[in-house]
Amino acid sequence: MKVRDIILLPDKRLRQVSKPVAKVDAAARKLVAEMFTAMYAAPGIGLAAIQLGEPKRIITLDLAKKEQPSDPRVIINPELVWESDELGTYEEGCLSIPEYYEEVERPKAVTVKYIDIDGKPQEVEATGLLATALQHEIDHLNGILFIDHISKLKRDRVIKKFTKAAKQAAKDAKRSKD
């Protein structure tokens, strides 16, 4: 399977709100397989469909450490139904904002309802890294990036850096065609 490109900041599609998946069919399963391929190739621990340019409410996760067997999870149409008042801080990164990491404060625990790859309703009570990853990826489905949770100064700086890099890449691509 060809590895699909992950779209990068400042691509405006990252700000799109994703649409619910009406039915877990062959097309949804194909997209999930493409998401896992792109996520593992990056490498990353989570990916939202919008990061491949697909505005569908699908998340793939695998939080297993390198020395552990993989633990792929598919979360379709996630709904955050509860979050703790207690907050925790994790250093977050994003495959759409490569090599940029920042401390982000989020609820320490969450409950998420979703449907799995078989179309069955599920609910997960999550803490720690799983809670953070779920919130990070659900944010993607709502057009929110982790940099929206940091100071405006830092956010503006990273957006400027990635916008400049995208303009340079476009110039370089145009030059190589000429």
- Active site residue ranges: 137
Buried b (16+ CB within 10 A) or exposed e, 83-104: beeeebebebbbbbbeebebeb
C-alpha–C-alpha distance, residues 18 and 16, integer Å: 6
C-alpha–C-alpha distance, residues 139 and 136, integer Å: 5
Query: What is the layout of strands, in order, in the sheet containing 109-115?
Result: 46-48, 58-61, 73-83, 109-115, 121-127
42, burial (CB in 10 Å: exposed 0-12, middle 13-18, buried 19+):
middle
Contact 131, 106 (CB under 8 A): yes
C-alpha–C-alpha distance, residues 41 and 83, integer Å: 31
12, burial (CB in 10 Å: exposed 0-12, middle 13-18, buried 19+):
exposed
